Amino acid sequence: MNAETLIVVPAYNEAESLPILLDNLKKFRATILVVDDGSRDDTFNVAQKKKVRVIRHPVNTGLGSALSTGFKIAKKEGFKYLITIDGDGQHNPQDLVKIIRKLGEGTDVVVGVRSINREKMPFIKKIGNLVLNAATRLFFGVHSKDSQSGLRGFNEIAIKKINITSPRYEASSEILFEAKKAGLKIREVDVEAIYTPHSMKKETGIVDGMKIFVKMILHKVIR
């Protein structure tokens, strides 16, 4: 990993988890961008103190909006690789090595499948993932073992071709749809899932899952 890589961390009220995450990410020779999506806690100041780049949305507009901001920066500044990682600490930063290695082999889009420590995943989360994976396959025609994973990698071609229009969680599935529509090569790698009290609070619940499902339907109908 080098200066041609941009690591985007979408963050909403992640002041608790960001310090350790950013310390670990700074071990890589890459540009780190925290997109503070209208946090109500100290997320912005925490990120600034860690001396990484920070962009602040004035209000909370959703995961998709935060990712869209990261993609726009990557396009504008000509980064060769873009890696996204959730700000709640549920991913092991060392798994970025697997992502970047797969990109270096010619893959356009890499999705980290949370299969390591999967037995620790809450039951309701497992069911939710299965439903959303099925919905992603049904509405977008994309087969993925973990369609909602936030740990992903994109090469320069993917950065240019993927256009995110969905503002919230449904953007995770939309990105895969955009990649497939553009004929990009998508691969998956097994990564570790870390479940802490903080990351558990940030998990997508049943209501959020239903919202994602409905928005997938609307996205399919409108497009």
What is the DSSP-derived secondary structure letter of residue 95? Answer: G
Contact 185, 107 (CB under 8 A): yes
Higher pLDDT, 61 or 214: 61
Which amino acid does the sequence have at 218? L
- pLDDT value at residue 158: 99
214: left (phi over 0), alpha (psi -120 to 50) or beta: alpha
Encode burial over 139-164: b for 16+ CB neighbours within 10 A, e otherwise.
bbebebebbbbbbbbbbbebbebbeb
pLDDT digits (tens, 9 = 90+) for 62-78: 999 999 999 999 999 99
* Angle between helical axes of 206-222 and 123-140 (0-180°, round to 10): 0
CATH of domain 5-222: 3.90.550.10
- Look up residue 42 and give its two tokens: 């100290």
- pLDDT value at residue 220: 57
Q: Would you list the DSSP string of 122-164?
A: -HHHHHHHHHHHHHHHHHH----S-TT-S-EEEEHHHHHH---
Pairing label, strands 53-57, 31-37:
parallel
- pLDDT value at residue 135: 78
Q: Whole-model pTM above 0.85?
A: yes
- pLDDT value at residue 141: 81
pLDDT digits (tens, 9 = 90+) for 88-125: 999 999 999 999 999 999 999 999 999 866 666 767 77
Q: Whose structure tokens read 């890696």?
A: 83
Q: What are phi and psi of 134, to 5 degrees?
A: -65, -40
- Look up residue 185 and give its two tokens: 């090569």
Alpha carbons 66 and 7: distance in angstroms, whole number: 13
Q: Is the pLDDT of residue 1 over 70?
A: no
- pLDDT value at residue 139: 77
Domain boundaries, the chain: 5-222
pLDDT digits (tens, 9 = 90+) for 165-221: 988 888 998 999 999 999 999 999 999 999 876 555 655 555 555 666 665 666 555
pLDDT digits (tens, 9 = 90+) for 147-179: 999 999 999 999 999 999 988 888 998 999 999
